[in-house]
A and B are shown apart, each in its own frame.
Chain A
Amino acid sequence: MTTRIEMKDVHKRYGANEVIRGVNLKVEDNEVVVLIGPSGAGKSTVLRMMNGLETTTAGEILIDGVDIARPHVDIDKVRENIGMVFQHFNLFPNMSVQKNVTLAPVELGLMSQADADAAALRMLDTVGLADKAEAMPKTLSGGQKQRVAIARALAMQPDIMLFDEPTSALDPEMVGDVLEVMRKLAAQGMTMVIVTHEMGFAKEVADRVVFFEGGEINETGTPEQVFDHPQSPRLQSFLQKVLQA
C-alpha cells in the first residue's frame, strides 16, 4: 500500500480560535475515506487543506510525500492531480457545460481543444449528461449541475477526488444520481475523501470512516466499527441524532 495523503499534527487557527487541533490522518491509494461529524467540527477545513485551498498554521500535509503546507510549493501542479467537488457546485455560469469541462485541460496545455471536446463528451456520458454538452449551467437542475462539476474535475484525470458535502444542496430525488456516479468512481479504484451526511452511502462505499468533533478526530474505523459499535459517547450521540432524522 502507498500512502497518498498524510496529515501530521495539523493545526489551524483563525485569530485566537483554533479550529483544527492536531489532526493526524492517512489516506492510502485506492482508499475511500468518509469524514463525518457535526457542523462546525472542521471537516471542510481539513478537506480543503488537502489541496491547499486553506492555509495551515502548523503541521505537515504530505501529498505523495510532498509537504504542501510549506511555502513555495507548486500548488497548481499538485492540484492537477486532485479533483474537488463543492457543495454548491461552483460551475462557471458564463460557459457552456462542455466549456466548463474542457477549460482547465486546454488552458493548461494538457490537451488540444478537439481532444478535450471528445474527452468531455465521454466524461459527460459517464455522468449521464452527454445530451447537455451545449447547455448553459443555469438551465440545469442541482443534480445535473453536480454531475457536471464531477465531470469537470475528472477531465483533469486526477487520481484523488475530494468531495465536500456533494449532495447537501440537492433536492432528495436528485441525490441518488450523484451518489451513483461516486459509487462508480469508487469501484474504479479512485482514491476519495468524502465529507457527507449520507450515512447509508458512507456505510456502503467507505473503507474507513473518520468522526470529527471540535477540530479533532474523535474516533476512526471501518464502517462496521464506527456505525455498529461506536465507542465514544460523542459518536454515539451524534449517530443517534442523524439516524433518527
Chain B
Amino acid sequence: MNVKRWGIMGLLLAIVAILVVGKPGEPVQAAEKTYTVGTDVTFAPFEFTDKNNRQVGIDIDILKAIAKVEGFKLNIKATSFNGAVQELQAGQIDGVMAGMSITKERKEMFNFSDPYFKSGVVMAVAKNSKIKGFADLRGKRVAIKTGTAAGAYANSIKKKYGFTTVTFDDSNNVYQDVIAGNSAACFEDKPVIQYAIATGLDLRITKMKLADPNNYGIAVQKSDPEFLATLNRGLKKLRQTGEYDRIITRYLGNGSQKEQTEKAKAAGSTDHSFGTLLKQNWGTLMSGLQETLALTLVGIICATIVGVLMGLLGVVPSRWAQGTATTFIYLFRGLPLMVLALFIYTGVPMVIGTKIPAFVAGIITLTLNEGAYTAAFVKGGIGAVDKGQMEAARSLGLPWGRAMRRVILPQGIKIMIPSFINQFIITLKDTSILSILGLLELTQTGKIIIARNMQGFKIWAMVALIYLIIITLLTWLSNWVQRKVQA
C-alpha cells in the first residue's frame, strides 16, 4: 500500500473518530447534573413542535420550569411514547414525561412523580358519525395509540362491546384513520383530543362522561430516588408560585368557545402550499438531511472496513477464520435492521449497564448489517476470481497473503465494485429505519413536521425527493469512480 492510500485511510478514520466521538459529546459541566428525559414526538398539548419547529407543550414547559427551579441541565429527547419507555427501561434515559398515566403495571416497573395532571379517556368520532356510545361500536374498529392508557382501556372493554382495535405509534395516525373512515372511533385522553379539535382536527368528542379517570405522572427509574425527589420538589414549587397554572392555561385556555374558535381559525388559515411548506421547513429538513448523511458516511466507512475484513477472513484457508466469517454473515444478514437497532439501543444497555448514544447505536447497527452484506459479496467476489490465478501465483513461490493482495484482490475488487455501489445506496436508504431510535435524521424529521401540520402528502413528497436527489448524486459519483478504476 502506498503513502497516498494510507493518507486517505487515515483521513477517513479521522472523520469517523470525529463524528462518532464528537457527536454525543456535549460540554461536560461538573456542577450541574444533566438529566435526559424522553418524550413523544407529538402528543399535543403535552408535547409537540410549534410553527418554528420548537418543542413545546405542557410537559415540555413544566420540565423546563422544574429544571430551572431545581438547577439541573435538561436534555429532552423525543422518540415515541413506546420508544421512550423502552429507553427508560434500558437505562438509556433518566425519565419519561409524555402524558403518561400512572397505572398499576407501570408502577411495578418505574417510580412515578406526584400526579401533575388529571385526565381520563373519551371517545372521538368523525363529525358526521352516528355513534353515540360504546354500544354502537359492535362489529366496528377502534383506533388507539400503542402503550397508552386510553388504548388499554379500549382493549379492556372491546370484548364486552364487540369491537376490534387497531394500534398506531403516533396520535396523528390514530386520528387520520378515523377521518379516513377506516376506524369508526378512537379512544384518547381527553386533554389531548380536546386540544387537537380546538386547533382544527376534524373529529368530535361523543357526549359521554369521562371513562377510566387517571392521573399523569413523570416516570423515573426505580434505582433513581434522587431524580424522583428533585421532580417532586420542583412540581411543588411550580404549584406554589402559580407557574403551573400559567402553563396549563397557556395550552388549554379557559375552555371558552370563543377562544377555541380563534385557535381553530388560526390553524385553518395557515398557508399549506408546497412552496410555503418547503420554505417553512427547509432548515429542519436540511438538518435532518445532514444527520442522514453523517449516518450514511460513517456507516459506509465502518461497514466497508468491517465487511472487507470479514470477507477476507472468509477466504483465509483456515476453518476457524471461515467459520467466524460465515457466522457473522449468517447472523447479521439474517436479522432485520430494525430488530438489530432496537436490540443494540434498548436491549444491550440493560445487560452491560451503560448507555449507548443513539448515533453510536445507529452506526453499530449499520456496521453489522451492511457489513454482513459487504462481507458476503467480498467473499463471493474473491471466490469468483479464476482458481488458476491463485495456483499460478503460488507456483511462483508467492505466499498466500501476497498472492491474495497482489494478484487476487485487484481482480476481485473489479468484480465487487457494482456491489459496493449498490450497498452504499442501500445504506443511505437504511438510515431511515434508524428513525426508530429517535435520531433526528431525514425520515424522523419528516414524521415530526407532519405530526405538526398534518400535510403528509406534501412533506413525504419532499422527503422522498431529497432521498432521490442524494441517491442520484451518489450514483453519479459511484459511476465516475467505477469508470476511473476500470479504465
Interface check A92, CB cutoff 8 A? yes
Residue from the list A51, A76, A92, A152 in contact with B389, Cβ < 8 A:
A92
Return chain A residues, CB-CB under 8 Å to B392.
84, 86, 90-92, 149
**Residues from 388 to 407 in B contacting A, C-beta threshold 8 Å:** 388-389, 391-399, 402, 406-407
Contact: B397 with A104, CB < 8 Å? yes
Shortest CB distance A64–B (Å): 15
Interface check A120, CB cutoff 8 A? no
Interface check B410, CB cutoff 8 A? yes
Contact: B388 with A79, CB < 8 Å? no
Give Cα distance in the complex from A88 to B387, angstroms: 11
Contact: B395 with A108, CB < 8 Å? no
Contact: A152 with B396, CB < 8 Å? yes
Return chain B residues, CB-CB under 8 Å to A152.
396
The number of residues on chain B lying at the interface, defined by a beta carbon within 8 Å of a beta carbon of chain A, is: 18
Shortest CB distance B317–A (Å): 11
Known interface pairs A88-B388, A92-B407, A93-B411. Does A76 touch B395 (Cβ–Cβ under 8 Å)?
no
Return chain A residues, CB-CB under 8 Å to B410.
94
Contact: A77 with B395, CB < 8 Å? no
Contact: A107 with B389, CB < 8 Å? no
Interface check B386, CB cutoff 8 A? yes
Interface check A53, CB cutoff 8 A? yes
Contact: B411 with A79, CB < 8 Å? no
Residue from the list B388, B389, B398, B411 in contact with A104, Cβ < 8 A:
B398
Residue of B nearest to A51 (CB): B395
Return chain B residues, CB-CB under 8 Å to A76.
394, 397-399
Residue from the list A77, A94, A103 in contact with B396, Cβ < 8 A:
A103
Interface check A153, CB cutoff 8 A? yes
Give Cα distance in the complex from A8 to B391, angstroms: 24
Contact: B397 with A86, CB < 8 Å? no
Contact: A84 with B395, CB < 8 Å? yes
Contact flags A85-105 to B (C-beta < 8 A → 1, else 0): 010101111100000000110
Return chain A residues, CB-CB under 8 Å to B393.
92, 104
- Please report the number of residue pairs spanning A and B whose Cβ atoms sit closer than 8 angstroms: 58
Give Cα distance in the complex from A156 to B392, angstroms: 13
Residue of A nearest to B390 (CB): A90
Known interface pairs A94-B410, A107-B402. Does A156 touch B397 (Cβ–Cβ under 8 Å)?
yes
Return chain A residues, CB-CB under 8 Å to B389.
90, 92
Contact: B396 with A153, CB < 8 Å? yes
Interface check A83, CB cutoff 8 A? yes
Shortest CB distance B389–A (Å): 6
Give Cα distance in the complex from A92 to B398, angstroms: 14
Give Cα distance in the complex from A65 to B146, angstroms: 78
Shortest CB distance A40–B (Å): 19
Place the interface of chain A in its size category.
Answer: 20 to 34
Shortest CB distance B138–A (Å): 69
Shortest CB distance B409–A (Å): 10
Contact: A53 with B391, CB < 8 Å? yes
Interface check A28, CB cutoff 8 A? no
Residue from the list A51, A90, A91, A108 in contact with B398, Cβ < 8 A:
A108
Contact: B395 with A83, CB < 8 Å? yes
Give Cα distance in the complex from A94 to B394, angstroms: 17
Contact: A107 with B388, CB < 8 Å? no
Interface check A207, CB cutoff 8 A? no
Return chain A residues, CB-CB under 8 Å to B411.
92-94
Shortest CB distance B283–A (Å): 49
Return chain B residues, CB-CB under 8 Å to A93.
411
Return chain A residues, CB-CB under 8 Å to B406.
103, 107
Known interface pairs A88-B388, A90-B389, A94-B410. Does A80 touch B397 (Cβ–Cβ under 8 Å)?
yes
**Residues from 169 to 185 in B contacting A, C-beta threshold 8 Å:** none
Contact flags B362-393 to A (C-beta < 8 A → 1, else 0): 00000000000000000000000010110111
Give Cα distance in the complex from A92 to B402, angstroms: 14
Residue of B nearest to A152 (CB): B396
Contact: A53 with B407, CB < 8 Å? no
Give Cα distance in the complex from A77 to B397, angstroms: 6
Known interface pairs A92-B389, A94-B411. Does A108 touch B394 (Cβ–Cβ under 8 Å)?
no
Shortest CB distance B212–A (Å): 71
Residue of B nearest to A155 (CB): B396
Give Cα distance in the complex from A14 to B386, angstroms: 22
Shortest CB distance A177–B (Å): 20
Shortest CB distance B7–A (Å): 23
Return chain A residues, CB-CB under 8 Å to B386.
90
Shortest CB distance B339–A (Å): 41
Shortest CB distance A174–B (Å): 19
Return chain A residues, CB-CB under 8 Å to B414.
94
Shortest CB distance A188–B (Å): 20
Contact flags A128-142 to B (C-beta < 8 A → 1, else 0): 000000000000000
Return chain B residues, CB-CB under 8 Å to A84.
392, 395
Residue of B nearest to A87 (CB): B388
Known interface pairs A92-B407, A93-B411. Does A156 touch B388 (Cβ–Cβ under 8 Å)?
no
Residue of A nearest to B411 (CB): A94
Give Cα distance in the complex from A94 to B385, angstroms: 12
Contact flags B398-439 to A (C-beta < 8 A → 1, else 0): 110010001100110010000000000000000000000000
Give Cα distance in the complex from A104 to B395, angstroms: 10
Pick the 4 closest A-B CB pairs, nearest first.
A90-B392, A80-B397, A104-B396, A90-B388
Residues of A within 8 A of B (CB): 51, 53, 76-77, 79-80, 82-84, 86, 88, 90-94, 103-104, 107-108, 149, 152-153, 156
What are 18 pairs between A and B in contact, CB < 8 Å? A76-B397, A76-B399, A77-B397, A82-B395, A84-B395, A86-B388, A86-B391, A91-B392, A94-B410, A94-B411, A94-B414, A103-B396, A103-B398, A103-B406, A104-B396, A107-B398, A107-B402, A152-B396
Known contacts A92-B392, A103-B407, A108-B397; 5 additional CB pairs below 8 A are: A76-B398, A90-B386, A91-B392, A94-B410, A107-B406
Residues of B within 8 A of A (CB): 386, 388-389, 391-399, 402, 406-407, 410-411, 414
